[in-house]
Every structure is written in C-alpha cells, then in structure tokens.
Amino acid sequence: MSVGQRFAASMRLRTADSWRAVLAHRFLAGMSDGTLPGAAFRVYMVQDYLFLIEYSRVLALATAKATSLDEMGHLANLVDATVTVEMQLHRDFAARVGISAAELEGAQMLPECHAYTCHLLAVAWAEPVEVIAASLLPCQLGYAEITASLAAKGTPSLAEHAEWVAAYTADEYVRLASWLGERVDGLAEQAGPRLLARMEDVYRASLRLEHGFWDMAFGGGEQ
C-alpha cells in the first residue's frame, strides 16, 4: 500500500478481480433476475444465520479489544445490529418458508460456513483490533457494495430477495459499514509494516472465504 492510499480503497482496488467475480456470481445474478433456485436461497439463509451467531462473537471480541470508547460504542452497535436486525431477517424468512425456529437453531454448519467462521474467530481471539477490523471488511463493506449493485438494477421480483437487499442498503447498515471502513483506514495509517502486512493477509483470506460462501448455496464450487 503506497503512502497516501486508504486501506479499504487500496485493498478493494488490489483485489478487483476477486470482487468482480463476487459481484458477477450466479447467486447474486439469480437474485437480481429472479432465476435463483429457492433451494439455494434457503441453504444460504440457514447457513448465514449460523454464520451471524459466530460473527456476533467476533464483533464482541473486537469490542473488548477496542482502543477507545468511541470505537467500543460503534463496535457494540455493530453487535446489536447483527443480533437484532440481521438475525431477525433470517428468522422472518425461515418462518415464511416453513423452517421452524428449532430447525434453524439446530442446523449444522456446512464446510464453507465453518471455514469462514473459524478464520474470523481465530483472528478475533489472537490478533489486535487492527487485524480483526481488516478481516471484517469483505463481509461488512462487501454486503453494502453487493446490495447497492443489486438495487441499482431494480428491486428484485421476489419479496424475500427484495427484503434482503433492503436490509443491507438501509441507512443504518451502510452507516455502520462505512464507519468500519473509515476506522480501518485510520488504524492502517498508524500501523507499522508487519502489522499492515498482517491486515492485508487477513483481508485477502476473508475475501476468498466470502466468495466460497456464495458457492456454498449450490453445493460448493460455482457451476
């Protein structure tokens, strides 16, 4: 990363090919044009619910490692938004398609979900807040970009897809995601070469696992 570049924008640019693959993924394309199989969306929603439970733990660990009260407050807001808003979206969807709360809570993680959450939790337990925050960017900022791209193509025809897009384009979600990007930028400016390299490594790892999460809905591996 050259002097003067902001971390989030720099990493987005340097991983542009990977991001193009995510934005063009057939899961997201199918959500946009109405061709996404219902079974694939169902798999995704159940697994993402399980993911969010562990993601909330990661955010809580980041909150505990925050270096200021302001940072602690924003991260705590991210925990609350994840637990109350995002997970309620999944519970509402599950109820509409006949997945009971017990079934949702008792579902088993698929390997892609397990790999992603294990990566994030390992980072959260072992690393400083700078590295934790960098590991979260492909998910937190990524969903804001993905849904903005989908919204620009028009409201998805299926209600559950439209609801999903609306949740991640909502002002509160975008505000918190943008704050995280700005906070990582600030932390990166103060980071030495070794810490900055570690931040870059976990960002790239998270992005690879993020792509795999979309593949998961089709049984692993985009077809």
What total of structural domains would you count in the chain? 1
Q: What angle do CA 209, 211, 212 make, to 5 degrees?
A: 60
CA neighbor of 94 nearest in space, from 44, 162, 46, 148: 46
CATH number where 180 lies: 1.20.910.10
Instruction: Tell me the whole-structure pTM to 2 decimals.
Output: 0.90
3-state SS assignment for residue 87: helix
Residue at 13 is within a domain: yes
Q: Is residue 221 part of a domain?
A: no
Give the range of the structural domain holding residue 100, as residue numbers without chain letter: 7-216
CA–CA distance, 35 with 215 (Å, rounded to integer): 16
> Residue written as tokens 């991001």?
19
Give a yes or no: residue 159 inside a domain: yes
**Does the residue 2 lie in any domain?**
no
- How confident is the model over 80-114, as pLDDT tens digits? 888 888 888 888 878 887 788 888 888 999 999 99
Per the domain annotation, does 222 fall within a domain?
no
Alpha-carbon distances, residue 196 vs 3, 18, 88 (angstroms): 12, 20, 36
- Which amino acids are annotated catalytic? 139, 210
Q: Are 183 and 133 in contact (CB under 8 A)?
A: yes
What's the mean pLDDT in 198-214? 96
Of the two residues 2 and 144, the one the predictor is more confident about is 144
Q: How far apart are CA 202 and CA 27, in angstroms?
A: 24
Query: Is residue 55 pLDDT above 80, yes or no?
Result: yes
Within-domain flag for 102: yes
Q: What per-residue confidence (pLDDT) applies to 94?
A: 80
- Please indicate, yes or no, if residue 1 is contained in any of the structural domains: no
Residue 179 vs residues 8, 77, 197: alpha-carbon distances, Å = 11, 11, 22
Q: Is the pLDDT of residue 1 over 70?
A: no
Whether 4 has a pLDDT exceeding 60, the answer reads: no
Q: Is residue 161 part of a domain?
A: yes
